[in-house]
Amino acid sequence: MHIDLTGKVAIVTGAGRGIGRVIASALAREGVVTVVTDIKEADLADVQKEFDREGYKGSTYLCDVRDERQIQHVVGQVTDTYGRIDILVNNAGVAGGAPVDVLSEEVWDLNLDINLKGTFLMCKAVAPVMKRQKSGRIMNAASFAAIVPSYGSAAYASSKAGVEQFTRVLAGELGPWNIAVNCYAPGMIPTDMNHFAELQEPQQQRLLDTLTLRRWGEKSDVAHLICFLASDYAGYITGTMIDISGGKLATQIPRVAYEKAAAEGAYEFQERGRSDERSG
């Protein structure tokens, strides 16, 4: 099986670094003309250096996904330059939070404006282009918090739950034009936004105890999913959220299986945070 995305045109938002950057690079390696947007000029310059060095096709744009005028400008430029938009990845996001009784209105608004409104505005802008083509793939970043939220995550979880339901509605609306719309829910993937890898050892172990695959995920795990969803192999998948969390809380206490495996000599707990081993 070979995923061939050669010649397709993609926009990936918030892709100056982190998971978005890895998604953009993965698509570019697959032959996709990849347009990267971000609000940080320095990060975009770094992306452009990588693209130039690797010979990737694409371009970069400063764009705040809260600003419809900026979005319309980017979509117009991309359409004028490349003639089409085949793939949209709404990766841009924030994750500020606090318990509800001390949660500021500003933090609430920031989560909803970037995570949910930004996704809406980007989809609204590219939908007419994809409808004219009678084809397209849209992938929206949700979160495991949309499935099971955590303490202090009211703003973030609400925004991501909104992304899931928005995705389902949009999939239904765009189905007649052969446009597939899905969202994905990353779990334990260390990034600059969640700082998982910087936690103290006991905290890391407690988080790892919630995973069926007891290891941190990699940014490339999400990128591989995006490439699959953008390909012809995923042509009959739409209107759903794909959990890419290593089976976080797939069972009530995932650690039990590892304790039993360790007792049988089939598994050895690694008393460190980010083990390179892929045991279990």
Task: For the sheet with 136-141, list strands across it.
Answer: 58-62, 33-38, 9-12, 87-90, 136-141, 179-186, 241-244
Which pLDDT tens digits describe the chain residue by residue (280 residues)?
578 999 999 999 999 999 999 999 999 999 999 999 999 999 999 999 999 999 999 999 999 999 999 999 999 999 999 999 999 999 999 999 999 999 999 999 999 999 999 999 999 999 999 999 999 999 999 999 999 999 999 999 999 999 999 999 999 999 999 999 999 999 888 777 777 777 888 888 888 888 898 888 899 999 999 999 999 999 999 999 999 999 998 999 999 999 999 999 888 865 443 333 333 2
Contact assessment for residue 14 and residue 88, using Cβ atoms and an 8 Å cutoff: no
Q: How far apart are alpha carbons 223 and 45 in whole angstroms?
A: 21
Q: Nearest CA to 137 among 170, 191, 182?
A: 182
The first and second tokens of residue 69, run together, are 């005028």
Identify whether 156 is a catalytic site residue. yes
Residue 99: what pLDDT? Answer: 97
Q: How far apart are alpha carbons 271 and 202 in whole angstroms?
A: 9
User: Following DSSP, what letter does each residue of 94-151 receive, concatenated?
Assistant: ------GGG--HHHHHHHIIIIIIHHHHHHHHHHHHHHHHT-EEEEEE--GGGTS--T
The residue from 56, 61, 82, 156 that is catalytic is 156
Residue 124: what pLDDT? Answer: 98
Q: How far apart are alpha carbons 94 and 194 in whole angstroms?
A: 10
Q: Nearest CA to 28 among 45, 40, 12?
A: 12
DSSP state, residue 182? E
Q: Tell me the whole-structure pTM to 2 decimals.
A: 0.91
Residue 206: what pLDDT? Answer: 86
